[in-house]
Every structure is written in C-alpha cells, then in structure tokens.
Structure 1
Amino acid sequence: MTHVFDDDALRGVLGHMNTDHLDDNLLIARAFSPIPDVIRAEMVTFDGDAGQWHVMCADGAEDVIRVPWPGGPISERREVRREIVALYDAACARLGVEPRPQS
C-alpha cells in the first residue's frame, strides 16, 4: 500500500519546492513529461511512490505528471529530499544538463 504523508510534510516539501526550487521543478517536468515544450511546473503533491507536478506548455496545454521515485517506495519525510535529488540528477542526465553540486 502506498504511504500517505501527513499535511505538515506535504506543506513543508511543496512550499520549499515551489518557492526555492522552481528551476528544478521545470527541469524534472521537461525530462519526464510526455507533453513537449514545458514552460512552467509546480510540484502539487507526493506520496510514497511518486511526486506529481502540474505542467504548463508553450501551446497552453496543461497536465499533471506523476514521476516514480527512482529509489522505489518511501515512507519517511527525510527520504523525500533524497528522491527529489535523484529525480533532479536523472533529469539532468536525460536532458544533457550539468547538475549542480548537492549540499
């Protein structure tokens, strides 16, 4: 059964991603969206299996993409960061972008 994170974890992670990591959201969306020309992305939720992003494209199309965590299912808040970083690294590899060092 998929782990469901509590509201505090959702608010914290989503607030951080949509305030401090807008470029990372866009990079992940561009790498994993089946819709081309993504120009904006916002992380909208996550659970133990995947993260979800609302994507907007240059032609006005919108969609929600669900991207599975690279390391498999998770159940703890501290694991979310690890998986988002792994998604970022995978997105960089797919798009041929040099990843920034992680702290």
Structure 2
Amino acid sequence: MTFLFDDAALTGVLGHMNGDHGDDNLLISRAFAADAGLTDAAISAATMTGFDGDQGVWKATLEDGSTAEIAVAWPGGPITERREVRREIVALYDEACARLGVEPRPHA
C-alpha cells in the first residue's frame, strides 16, 4: 500500500522545490520525459505537484502551452518518512544529470 504524506510534509517539500529548485524541477522533468511518453525538448517549464511513498510527480508545461504529468518512482524504492524525500529527490537529480549529460552541483 502506498504511503501518503500529511499536508504539512506536502506543503513544505513542494514549497521548497518550487520556490528554491525550479531549475531542478525542469531538469528532472526533461530527463524522465521519455519515460512518460514525452520528448524532453518540448518541456519549457515544470513544477513539482505532489509525491507519495512511491514517487514524485511533476507538471510539465510543453512549448505549445499544454501540460503533462511526469511521475517518477523513487530510485531507492518506497519511502515512509519525510526526511527520505530529500534523499530520493537528490537521487533523481543526480540521475537526471547523468541522463542529460549535465555536471551535477555538489550536495550540502
């Protein structure tokens, strides 16, 4: 059964990702677009819209103005604690960099 995070966790993580990591949202969305049946070049913007114990979810805005959902499973498998969300998003970021040939920045 998929673990569902409470509203406080959702609000905190989504606020942080969309407020401080907009470029990372775009990078992750472009890197995993093909897995969602999209071409990465068509994505002009992205926001993180949700997550649960199994995956993170981004809304990608395409160049034609339409939107598409990109859901990406956590690389480390299912999670149940808020602190694990950061670890999994960092892992997605690193994988996105590898897929797109981008040098990842150091993690604090």
Give TM-score scaled by structure 1 length: 0.97
Structure-to-structure mapping, 1:1-103, within 5 angstroms = 1-33=1-33, 34-36=37-39, 37-103=42-108
Ranges in structure 1 where 5+ consecutive residues have no aligned partner: none
My pick for the range that moved more, 16-25 or 30-39, is: 30-39
CA RMSD of superposed structures (Å): 0.7
- The amino acid across from 2:84 in the alignment is E
Runs of 4+ in 1 over 2 A off after TM superposition: none
> How far is the alpha carbon of 1:43 from its aligned partner?
0.3
CA–CA distance in 1 between the matches of 2:62 and 2:102? 20
My pick for the range that moved more, 31-40 or 2-11, is: 31-40
* Deviations 1:15-51, CA, capped at 9 Å, x for gaps: 0000000000000000001322211000000000000
Give TM-score scaled by structure 2 length: 0.93
* Deviations 1:67-94, CA, capped at 9 Å, x for gaps: 0000000000000000000000000000
CA–CA distance in 2 between the matches of 1:60 and 1:8? 31
> How far is the alpha carbon of 1:65 from its aligned partner?
1.0
